[in-house]
Every structure is written in structure tokens, then in C-alpha cells.
């Protein structure tokens, strides 16, 4: 730095000297405040720690379109495009299109770019000195007092200079600020992955819901057709006086009730289709949205289950909250460093002359170099209060992180138990629907022979209708909860080729 007065060439020599010294001082500086350490993760030995009681490794099966047994494979990895395991080309194409058109995903990606550019700006201000160049000319009138010339003197002044300033990061304030900026980038990255996972999961579950409602409408319409046929028979019997009017009124009421249930289902179907279009980044009025049916989806039979020690590295919401915790830790360091002295270096090199041709000639050159130190002495406790506030913010981020981890483990446990009970429910509903159907067929034959009353036939019809709808809902639940398991495990984002460099292992 003491070589600066000898510089008499272009300002680049000064820039290089100051730059070299600044980087050297930066690298040798310490950083006060806590060094961030990732929170302690569950032990690898806690393989079956999602639930208090062991869950089944294989579900029961049922003789139904969604009745296949599902096997839980502990430690199996999750594919990046996990939704393809349903083997629906329409669903796959819709999700691929949605990933390109979704405004929510585009918004998250833009926020990530913003955070990255903020980091780049922070990096430039932290690592390198500030260098500014000035060039100017002014017309001046000097007074007679200063020049000794009666009436003063009129002259033109030309000047050009390069100014350099740098704050030595002796206690790591800039280093911690840069650390916090990087944590903000990490947070936004995992926000993108969270939006990606939520979008794909919502598309799958909404498609399943559409298929379920569509099947319920079909089943209700079939039941209504059957009930209408029976009503026609009863009306003819009433006309000839074979049955009392009360029996005909009961059948009419049953037909009316069944018909009244259709508009609600149709409304739900249309609203579900609208939601599906919006998830896909389209207007509800856009054509070309595929129609989904339960039989077009294949229930996956092999399901992965990450061990708990891997879950915290796979869930984007956990990783995002860890990044917020890291950012809060860095802010504690920034607040701590503000209580220590700050050293500022300044230097300038330039020339001032009354003729432009004289700029940077030896006799007209000028330079200066300076250093200053600022030490907080009295601020009425403001800096200490800011540090305590930063520590409180860290404690808040830590509590939020732990809450997110607990919720993540709950979602996996809920999904595992849902799969087990969904399979049992479907198996029972298959039996219920089969029994109700046989009962209805037998009661219908008995009614034609006059062995049972019309009320018995009506009861059999109601039972079968309820069993049919419940069976469809049980089928849909197995698809939806299978998708929920993949979502709760993180969705396999780390297996996308462009993200292979991001570790999901314990660090």
C-alpha cells in the first residue's frame, strides 16, 4: 500500500494493488457470531420410526380394479417423475404441460433468480473494493483576493480521477452477510422444489377426484335408470289396483332423491375440471383437457419408503426451513460484528489541469490515500438490542424448523396408515357391494313373485346404491393416498438430472 505515491502511470496499477490487499485482508479476517451447523437428524437406525406401532409391509388385496396388494420397500429411492407409476399417458402429458405453463412455478423460479442476483450483488460488494471514475470540466471565476489580479481571473478546470474505497471485513460482517445471502438463495431453490412437488401432487389427486366423481355419476345414473324402470312397473301395478298408493309414492320419492343427487355431483365434476385446468396453467374454458377414469389408472404395487434419516434431506419444505435457519444464524453474526470496530480504506488517483492536454502529465497529477476506524462507543444499547433480536429470530426459525420436521414425519405416518386401512376398507367394500347386489337381485325376484313387500325392495335398492358409491370412493382413496405417500417423501426431485449435484444425504 505504501507504493501508491510512486504510481505515475494509468490508474489500473492502483486498482490491482488495492484489490490484492483487500482480498488478502478478507481471507485473513475472522467472523464473529455462531458458525452454522445443520440441525441433528434422526439416527439411521430408526428405520421404522414413522409410527408408534409397526405398519404392514404389504397391504391386503381385493378382487377389484384398484384392489392389488401394495408392498412397502424400505430404503427404495423415488423416481423424479413419480406420477408415471400410475401408467396414464394422459396424466403424464398433462403434468409435463403444466410444468411448462404453471404461473406458480414460474413465479417461484423468478424469485430464485432474484435471490441469485442479490447474492451476486452482495458478493461483488463484499469481495471487491468499490472503484469509481470521474471526468469533468468546469468554467470558473476566481476572485481578486485569491489571485491578486484586479477583477479576478476566468479559467477552465479539467479533472479526471479514479477513487477506490474498501471496508476491511476484520470481524466478518460482510462474510456473514454473504453467508445469509447464499442461504436466501438456498431457501428460494427449495421453494421452487416445494411448488414443483405441490403442483404435481395436486394434479394427480385432482385427476383421481375427477375420475371418482365421474364414476359416481355413472353409478348414480345406472341406479336411477334401474329405479325408473321399477317405478314404471309399480305405476302399472297401482293402475290395476294390485298395490297400495303408498308403495308407489315411496318409489317416486326414491327416484326423486336419486335424481336430485346428480346435479351436486355434476357441479363437483365441473368445478374439479376447472381446478385441473388452472393447475395446468390453462383457462377453464380451454379445450383439450383429458378426461380421467379410474380404470385408466394403474395402482402401483411397489412403493418406496425412505428411512427417517433421509427424509429430512428429501423434503423441500424441511430444506427450505433449514435455509431460513442458516440465514437467521448469519444475521446473528452480522449483528455481533456491528459491535466491533470497522476499518475503511480509501485511495484516489487523478489529475486536474487548466488544459485538457495537460491531464495526467507529471506536474498536474494528484493522489491521496487514507484509512479510518470507526468504533461504536455509545448508542443507548441499540446494537445490543439488535443482536438480541437476531438471536430471537434464530430461535424462532429453529422452532419453525422443528415444527416442519414433526409435520413431515406425521404426513409420512398418516400416508402409511392410510394405505393400510384403504386396502382393508376396499376389501370390505367389495364384499359389501357384492352382497348388496346379490340381495337386490334376490329381493327383486321375490317381489315379482309377491313374496316380499315393495318396502323391502326399496330398502334393498338404497343399500345397493350406498354400497356402490362407497366402493367407488374406496377405490379413489387408494390412488389419492398413494400419491400422498410420494408427496410426503419429497417426490424424488433430487433424481432430476439438473439437480444431481444437490445432496440428500446426511451432512
- Which tens digit of pLDDT belongs to each residue from 255-308? 999 999 999 999 999 999 999 999 999 999 987 899 999 988 999 999 999 988
Q: What is the CATH number of domain 68-130+171-340+408-499?
A: 1.20.1600.10
- Which tens digit of pLDDT belongs to each residue from 79-135? 999 999 999 999 999 999 999 999 999 999 999 999 999 999 988 888 888 889 888
Using a 10 angstrom Cβ sphere, with 0-12 exposed, 13-18 middle and 19 or more buried, the burial of residue 415 is buried
Asked whether 173 and 341 are in contact (CB, 8 A), the reply is no
CA 388-393-395 angle, 5° bins: 95
SS3 67: coil
- Which tens digit of pLDDT belongs to each residue from 325-345? 999 999 999 999 889 988 888
H/E/C letters for each residue in 486-507? HHHCCCCHHHCHHHCCCCCCCC
| All cell numbers assigned to 459 | 330398502
CA 164/CA 395 separation, integer angstroms: 40
> Which pTM value belongs to this model?
0.84
Helix H or strand E segment including 456: helix 454-488
Domain boundaries defined on the chain: 68-130+171-340+408-499
- Which tens digit of pLDDT belongs to each residue from 197-220? 999 999 999 999 999 999 999 999
User: Average pLDDT of 499-506?
Assistant: 57
User: Average pLDDT of 419-429?
Assistant: 95
Asked whether 203 and 95 are in contact (CB, 8 A), the reply is yes
Amino acid at each position: 500500500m505504501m507504493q501508491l505515491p510512486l504510481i505515475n502511470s494509468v490508474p489500473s496499477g492502483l486498482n490491482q494493488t488495492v484489490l490484492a490487499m483487500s482480498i488478502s485482508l478478507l481471507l485473513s479476517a475472522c467472523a464473529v457470531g455462531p458458525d452454522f451447523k445443520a440441525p441433528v437428524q434422526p439416527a439411521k437406525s430408526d428405520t421404522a420410526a414413522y409410527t408408534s406401532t409397526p405398519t404392514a409391509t404389504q397391504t391386503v388385496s381385493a378382487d377389484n380394479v384398484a384392489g392389488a396388494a401394495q408392498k412397502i420397500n424400505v430404503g427404495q429411492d423415488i423416481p423424479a417423475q413419480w406420477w408415471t407409476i400410475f401408467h396414464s399417458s394422459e396424466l403424464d402429458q398433462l403434468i409435463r404441460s403444466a410444468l411448462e405453463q404453471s404461473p406458480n412455478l414460474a413465479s417461484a423460479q423468478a424469485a430464485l433468480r432474484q435471490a441469485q442476483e442479490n447474492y451476486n450483488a452482495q458478493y461483488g460488494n463484499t469481495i471487491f473494493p468499490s472503484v469509481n471514475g470521474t471526468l469533468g470540466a468546469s468554467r470558473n471565476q476566481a476572485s481578486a483576493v485569491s489571485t491578486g489580479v484586479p477583477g479576478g481571473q476566468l479559467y477552465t478546470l479539467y479533472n479526471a480521477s479514479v477513487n477506490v474505497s474498501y471496508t476491511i471485513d476484520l470481524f466478518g460482517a460482510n462474510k456473514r452477510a454473504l453467508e445469509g445471502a447464499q442461504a436466501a438463495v438456498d431457501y428460494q431453490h427449495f421453494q421452487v422444489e416445494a411448488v414443483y412437488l405441490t403442483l404435481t401432487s395436486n394434479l394427480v389427486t385432482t385427476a383421481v377426484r375427477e375420475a371418482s366423481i365421474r364414476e359416481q355419476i355413472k353409478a348414480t345414473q345406472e341406479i336411477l335408470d334401474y329405479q325408473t324402470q321399477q317405478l314404471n312397473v309399480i305405476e302399472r301395478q297401482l293402475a290395476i289396483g294390485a298395490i297400495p298408493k303408498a308403495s308407489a309414492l315411496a318409489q317416486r320419492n326414491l327416484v326423486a332423491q336419486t335424481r336430485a343427487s346428480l346435479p351436486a355431483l355434476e357441479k363437483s365434476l365441473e368445478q374439479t375440471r376447472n381446478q385441473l385446468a388452472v393447475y395446468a396453467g390453462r383457462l377453464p374454458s380451454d379445450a383439450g383437457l383429458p378426461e380421467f377414469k379410474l380404470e385408466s389408472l394403474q395402482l402401483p404395487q411397489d412403493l418406496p419408503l425412505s428411512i427417517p434419516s433421509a427424509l429430512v434431506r428429501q423434503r423441500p419444505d424441511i430444506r427450505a426451513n433449514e435455509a431460513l435457519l442458516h440465514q437467521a444464524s448469519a444475521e446473528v453474526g452480522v449483528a455481533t460484528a456491528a459491535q466491533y470496530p470497522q476499518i475503511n480504506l480509501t485511495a484516489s488517483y487523478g489529475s486536474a489541469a487548466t488544459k485538457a492536454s495537460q491531464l495526467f502529465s507529471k506536474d498536474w497529477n494528484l493522489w491521496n490515500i487514507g484509512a479510518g476506524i470507526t468504533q461504536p462507543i455509545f448508542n443507548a444499547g441499540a446494537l445490543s438490542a439488535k443482536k438480541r433480536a437476531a438471536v430471537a429470530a434464530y430461535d424462532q426459525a429453529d422452532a419453525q424448523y422443528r415444527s416442519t420436521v414433526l409435520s413431515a414425519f406425521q404426513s409420512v405416518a398418516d400416508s402409511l396408515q392410510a394405505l393400510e386401512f384403504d386396502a382393508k376398507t376396499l376389501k370390505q367394500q367389495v364384499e359389501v357391494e357384492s352382497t348388496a347386489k346379490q340381495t337386490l337381485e334376490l329381493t327383486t325376484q321375490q317381489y315379482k313373485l309377491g313374496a316380499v313387500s315393495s318396502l323391502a325392495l326399496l330398502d334393498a335398492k338404497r343399500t345397493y346404491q350406498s354400497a356402490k358409491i362407497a366402493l367407488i370412493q374406496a377405490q379413489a382413496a387408494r390412488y389419492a393416498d398413494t400419491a400422498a405417500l410420494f408427496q410426503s417423501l419429497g417426490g424424488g426431485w433430487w433424481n432430476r438430472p439438473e439437480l444431481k449435484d444437490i445432496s440428500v444425504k446426511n451432512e
